[in-house]
Chains A and B, each alone.
Chain A
Amino acid sequence: MKKSAQAVIIGGGIIGCAAAYYLAKEIDDVILIEKKCIAGESSGANYGMVWQQTRQDGYDLAAARRSLEIYPQLCREVFDLDIEYEEKGGMTLFFTDLQAEAAKGYVEYKNSLGVPVRLLSGKETRSLEPALSSRVTGSLFCAEEAQLNPFYTTLAFARAAQKEGATIYQGVEVLSINLDRGAVCSISTSEGKIFTNHVINAAGSWAGTVGAMVGLKVPVFPHRLQSLVTEQIPKLLTRTIQGSRIARTSEEAAKTFQYAYDTTGGNRPCINQQPPAECIIESSLFYAKPTVNGNIVLGTACDFAGYNRETSYEALAVIAHMAKMIIPRLKDVNIIRSWANFDPWTADGIPIVGETGVKGFFIAAGHGTGMSHAPATGEALAGLITGSAAAIPLGEANINRFTGYREEC
């Protein structure tokens, strides 16, 4: 193992690999350390949606839109692997007339932010996706959204980083980070020590553990999401679809299109804020992703269960029920596998990206939608570290937005 590096990235998910690629383009001696294998956690277990209609105004939306801009170029010029990037548009379904009414205001708002989302009737929706049930009363459709294979995309970034000179160690765990007069000077791993003045915490749902190595609280929590996958079947869906919670009153309908788990009530989040108690049945949206191989991935059931990656019969049954109601033809299809993985969660739904009170210690973690953010995050972070101009400003994503952060450092 190498003894020193200009920068060490902790975590080989999509965020760490994208950061490694953009950094290695600018500086020599970039090392990425991954405890399991590339895309061994969330980045290999998600639905691969690159969406903007669900993103919050500000940093969240800017990062998604910038990524939608960069991906096609990466596919053409950088990646040596087909990441199955398809610009098929994204669709959010709803099920009552009240929701169709609420959707109008939402579309206007999104359009004012530059998101080209459109309202489709039930009939228009089914003309695009004929397998959808007549319960669907309409949808929000955004043509400028894409889907990709999350595993191949992470791997493609890792390979691009290696081509730019980065070194990747898999099966190696970072155990501690050593400071000298308050600044990062080295890290200790399960395979030895590496001297470096820059460490990037891209440990996804484990960002808190890595933050604690320099005495920082990094308020990222593992949000468990359960999924099912069907056997390979002839084409049933064209694009990834998202369901919404059914709404029967106008109050409920108005909340249909609120996606962020904003537990802060519009205030600054607190560094000590814990995830809310959550019931799988109440909280989860429906997703169906047709893969290039003909399997359909179905989700989701969400809760906070620490790092428990077991699936539950109850959760899988509820997903299956939603699937049958929304796509009736799925009822005779076989389910071949299920899994649970962790979506990194923060109290305000925005990732934590940028420098910290510890010199040389950077964070890029807490991404609820890392596939939609990774290229922009990697690019911006590399800019921050090397001092070049930023394509998107990172200020809003800094950890210092959390009240109580300063006292902690």
Chain B
Amino acid sequence: MLMNNKPVTICRCEEVGNKTIEQAIDDGARTVDAVKRATRAGMGLCQGRTCQSLVAALISCKTGQPLANLVPSTSRPPFRPVRLESLAEVGAKLLLEKEADKI
């Protein structure tokens, strides 16, 4: 994938290219999570489902760490994007049950 030195997009959601990610690795990022924090790769709509294995491969490639050690960054709920309103309805009910007076 990086044979011909042409820049490629690694994270499509956040439009992060391999150069940016390689720079982050050069600056000391050694895990998928560290790269995510430094470059936003993995923070997009798909939450890294598309790009994280590529990020792991890049780290492995540049640092020599075995790919198996590069556990993917923790995936956090919601596992699919969810409309705020559907969560809010649950919240309103909970507050009613607890008679909590909250805006």
Q: Which residues of A contact B (CB under 8 A)?
A: 37-40, 44, 95, 135, 151, 155, 159, 168, 170-171, 230-231, 243, 245-246, 248, 281-282, 286, 293, 311, 313-314, 316-326, 330-339
- Contact of A231 (CB < 8 Å), options: B28, B29, B30, B45: B45
> Can you list 14 residue pairs at the A/B interface with Cβ under 8 Å?
A37-B37, A38-B28, A159-B27, A281-B94, A317-B90, A318-B94, A320-B87, A320-B90, A321-B91, A335-B78, A336-B45, A336-B81, A337-B78, A338-B77
| Interface residues contributed by chain B, number (CB under 8 Å) | 35
Known A246-B101, A293-B40, A337-B76; judge A331-B88 contact (CB<8 A): yes
Contacts of B101 in A (CB 8 A): 246, 248
Does B95 reach chain A (CB closer than 8 Å)?
yes
Which B16-43 residues have C-beta < 8 A from chain A?
Answer: 27-31, 33-34, 37-38, 40, 43
Are B91 and A317 in contact (CB-based, < 8 A)?
Answer: yes
Contacts of A135 in B (CB 8 A): 103
Known A37-B30, A38-B28, A95-B103; judge A331-B37 contact (CB<8 A): no
Q: Looking at B27, B83, B102, which has the most chain A CB atoms within 10 Å of its CB?
A: B102
Does B98 reach chain A (CB closer than 8 Å)?
yes
- Contact of B33 (CB < 8 Å), options: A37, A168, A320, A321: A37
- Expressed in whole angstroms, the Cα–Cα distance for A333 and B78 within the complex equals 14
Contacts of B76 in A (CB 8 A): 311, 337-339
Known A317-B91, A336-B47, A338-B77; judge A330-B84 contact (CB<8 A): yes
Does B82 reach chain A (CB closer than 8 Å)?
yes
Are B88 and A324 in contact (CB-based, < 8 A)?
Answer: yes
Q: Mark B69-103, 1 if CB is under 8 A from A, else 0.
A: 00000001110011111011111101100101111
- Expressed in whole angstroms, the Cα–Cα distance for A150 and B88 within the complex equals 27
Shortest Cβ distance from A96 into B: residue: B103
Query: Chain A's nearest CB lies how many Å from the CB of B70?
Result: 12
Are A332 and B84 in contact (CB-based, < 8 A)?
Answer: yes
Query: Chain B's nearest CB lies how many Å from the CB of A2?
Result: 16
Are A243 and B33 in contact (CB-based, < 8 A)?
Answer: no
- Expressed in whole angstroms, the Cα–Cα distance for A44 and B45 within the complex equals 20
Shortest Cβ distance from A284 into B: residue: B102
Query: Chain B's nearest CB lies how many Å from the CB of A284?
Result: 9
- Contact of B94 (CB < 8 Å), options: A95, A317, A330: A317
Shortest Cβ distance from B14 into A: residue: A293
Task: Give me 15 other A-B pairs in contact (C-beta within 8 A), A38-B34, A316-B91 excluded.
Answer: A37-B34, A159-B27, A168-B28, A170-B34, A171-B30, A243-B103, A293-B40, A314-B94, A318-B102, A321-B92, A321-B102, A323-B84, A324-B88, A334-B83, A336-B47
- Expressed in whole angstroms, the Cα–Cα distance for A159 and B27 within the complex equals 9
Are A37 and B45 in contact (CB-based, < 8 A)?
Answer: no
Contacts of B85 in A (CB 8 A): 320, 324, 331-332
Known A170-B28, A231-B45, A317-B88; judge A335-B102 contact (CB<8 A): no
Contacts of B100 in A (CB 8 A): 281-282
Are A325 and B38 in contact (CB-based, < 8 A)?
Answer: no
Query: Chain A's nearest CB lies how many Å from the CB of B31?
Result: 6
Are A335 and B82 in contact (CB-based, < 8 A)?
Answer: yes
Contacts of B103 in A (CB 8 A): 95, 135, 243, 246, 286, 322, 325-326
Which B42-75 residues have C-beta < 8 A from chain A?
Answer: 43-45, 47
Query: Chain A's nearest CB lies how many Å from the CB of B64?
Result: 14
Known A37-B33, A243-B103, A313-B90; judge A320-B77 contact (CB<8 A): no
Contacts of A243 in B (CB 8 A): 103
Closest 8 CB pairs of A and B: A321-B91, A317-B91, A320-B87, A334-B81, A317-B90, A331-B85, A37-B34, A324-B88
- Expressed in whole angstroms, the Cα–Cα distance for A171 and B78 within the complex equals 29
Contacts of A319 in B (CB 8 A): 91
- Expressed in whole angstroms, the Cα–Cα distance for A385 and B38 within the complex equals 31
Shortest Cβ distance from B78 into A: residue: A335
- Contact of A40 (CB < 8 Å), options: B34, B45, B78, B90: B34
- Contact of B38 (CB < 8 Å), options: A95, A155, A230: A155
Are A332 and B83 in contact (CB-based, < 8 A)?
Answer: yes
Are A322 and B84 in contact (CB-based, < 8 A)?
Answer: no
